[in-house]
Chain A
């Protein structure tokens, strides 16, 4: 198990590194969790190489789970929490793409997760597959990816993003209060 690109934190290395892992350890399962932004930067291209090489691997399983939320979400949240900036539509929006269908067209297995109930069966199929698999998981962009841990400065910045008119403020306020703001006040009060 590894975490890569720790310091450069470059965009979209998940699928290429998972493919590299398969070349290094063709007998082991590789799983990459990547965003839809990463897929559109270089993950989709890398799937073509995976489709080209997977038959050489002793264990053909490589699962790419695409967290599909139509948003460059980590940066959106970083901007909300660290600089008080609302979501900037022109840079943050990620257009739709049929990742699972595309995987099927390459001869890989493509699965979609639309509801929480789909999760177990999708993973069972992916892990039992005789070829690499792409799971396109529809996820909610308004769930904060940052840890449930926030400083006063970040809380202030976050509220300022709301006041500056973040287009998604209604939805994320509900999610965020549960994950982020509530524990902060809970901690201050306790």
Chain B
């Protein structure tokens, strides 16, 4: 929450941090009174413009008390659903008015209460491809990131099954303990050589018979963007939206043998 103008500008660094690490945040920001909008009034900054990049999923300036409820509701739902910042801007005079429920008439918009995260399931052919790469790899490495937070046990089980080493991306530090079997700590600039070497070796020709699976990490590593003469990697390309998907939920078990026809195939096939 911040006041208008310079106070609002102070939020930007934190909000960009949230955006890039996929943390939902609703920023509620003040603005000059409606009568002063567009007049270069003291501390007036075009906040819709200022926030529309960092809060690209949803930035709105409300103009009446009756519109606030829907704006806050959407701001929160969209922040959670997209794992990104959203922003609601409230002019000073609107802040000072009494709260008002939207009237039951044409033009007012309502939603239900609560939010239930969707269960996102990979399509079967992607899972088959990942399984094939892992099964073929004689030496398997797993790079885990923030997307695996809360799924540490399953990561360790998978590593145990495959005899794999686990390197953690910075944001995946809390996925599993550093002293668990097969875990060789963090990769990344200020961190352990062995973890960097693990990922590095798989990107370059030294490891020909290996497979590297990147689980819940958007971290780039030169050479991992494609299968280029070294190990085979999954996913084959960095998914630009991977961090926006809902985080692992306990009990969520995707399987390759899902009986359901994947939606994508159903929609696209003749």
Contacts and interface: CB of A to CB of B under 8 A. Distances in A.
A binds B: yes
B173 A147 contact: no
B173 A149 contact: no
Nearest to B13: A10
Interface string A1-22: 1111111101001000000000
B189 A5 contact: no
B123 to A, nearest CB: 27
Interface stretch (B56-64, B192-200, B255-263): B192-200
B197 to A, nearest CB: 7
Q: Report which residue of A3, A10, A74, A145 has the largest number of chain B beta carbons within 10 angstroms of its beta carbon.
A: A3
B17 A1 contact: no
Nearest to B218: A7
A6 B243 CA distance: 12
Contacts of B16: 8, 10
The interface residues of chain B, by DSSP majority, are classed as helix
B120 interface: no
Contact of A74 (B19, B174, B190, B196): B190
Nearest to B192: A147
A78 B190 CA distance: 10
Contacts of B20: 6-8
The interface residues of chain A, by DSSP majority, are classed as loop
A3 B17 contact: no
A147 B17 contact: no
Nearest to A20: B14
A149 B21 contact: no
Given A6-B146, A7-B20, A146 B171 contact: no
Contact of A3 (B14, B19, B171, B196): B171
A148 B196 CA distance: 10
A149 B197 CA distance: 8
Contacts of B170: 3, 6
Interface in B92-135: none
B169 interface: yes
B154 interface: no
Contacts of A5: 17, 21
Interface of B: 13-14, 16-17, 19-21, 146, 169-171, 173-174, 186, 189-193, 196-197, 218
Interface of A: 1-8, 10, 13, 74, 78, 145-149
